[in-house]
Amino acid sequence: MSTMSEEKSIPRVVLVGLASCFGCQINITNVEAHLMEVLGQIDMRYWQLTSSDPMPEAFDVAVVEGAVTTDEAVRTLQRIREQARAVITIGACAATAGIPGMAAAGYEPRANEVYGQAVPAIIDDIACRPRAVADVIEVDYEVPCCPIDPYDFVRVLQKALYGANPYERTSTLCGECKRNERGCFYGRGIMCLGLVTRQGCGARCPDLGRPCNGCAGVSPDANVKGARRVAQHSGIAPARFDKALEMFNQVTQGVQP
């Protein structure tokens, strides 16, 4: 039987969803077996997907899904940062504003089409200002991709629970892809964003026969100018490459002009 002091030392975890499709939270439920192992190590105080109760006042680790689109979300994040010793973001929406970022692109003409000049302020605020979580508060650990790999989530959560080094490899996807020995799409004149995308997913899309669309975000090591040249050499116009790259990077600053 555990003593009171042992119970107190179990990390208290909350899982919060901001502007997102909740797909990353749902994906976490796809690893029941591993999840049960991890759940035995934590006190799961709050999981927004499973409860309409308010978030508790006290917790140790916060997991955040989704982009920041409202003042309320900013306040929630500030509260989370004040309280949590570790903040983990999950998914592209949280890391780069992902899908809400895409929705914001070209929003203005569409809103004007619907509302004329009288676009309600609340809609304007929500749709026009999606931000990555790291643009609002300091983030300690990140689980990338859209959706996340649930095994990756379990791995990162354990790192956060035990205070392991948050450093992740930053090089581009091509290194992982080469190890899969599948050849390169550019040899067939097909665009693939793995050239500039951060590695970590195991190059799972090229491994399954589909080009990477960059959901892990742009690698800090990426040579975007060089990638454009590679694309051009394979008959892909740089403007098309840039357009594809915008998809998961509407509001992030990592892409060189």
Which spans of this chain sit near ligand SF4 (rule: CB under 6 A)? Answer: 20-21, 23-24, 65-66, 91-93, 98-99, 145-147, 173-174, 177, 184-186, 192, 194-195, 197, 201, 203-206, 212-216
How far apart, in whole angstroms, are the C-alpha atoms of residue 68 and residue 18?
6
CB of 156 to ligand SF4, least distance (A): 14
Question: Is the CB of 59 or the CB of 153 nearer to ligand SF4?
Answer: 153
Angstrom CA distances, 226 to 219, 242, 257, stand at: 14, 12, 12
How far apart, in whole angstroms, are the C-alpha atoms of residue 130 and residue 225?
27
Dihedral over alpha carbons 195, 196, 197, 202 (to 10 degrees) = 30
Question: Is the CB of 11 or the CB of 98 nearer to ligand SF4?
Answer: 98
Question: Is the CB of 119 or the CB of 213 nearer to ligand SF4?
Answer: 213
Contacts of 232 (CB under 8 A, 6+ apart): 238, 241
Q: Look at the block and give the residue holding tokens 């749709």.
A: 127
Tell how far CA 102 is from the center of its chain: 14
CB of 235 to ligand SF4, least distance (A): 14
Question: Is the CB of 60 or the CB of 185 nearer to ligand SF4?
Answer: 185
DSSP 88: E
Question: Is the CB of 12 or the CB of 196 nearer to ligand SF4?
Answer: 196
Cα-based angle 32, 165, 199 (whole degrees, multiple of 5): 70
CB of 6 to ligand SF4, least distance (A): 35
Residue 203 Rama label (left phi>0; alpha psi -120 to 50; beta): left
How far apart, in whole angstroms, are the C-alpha atoms of residue 81 and residue 116?
39
CB of 125 to ligand SF4, least distance (A): 20
CB of 98 to ligand SF4, least distance (A): 5
CB of 228 to ligand SF4, least distance (A): 13
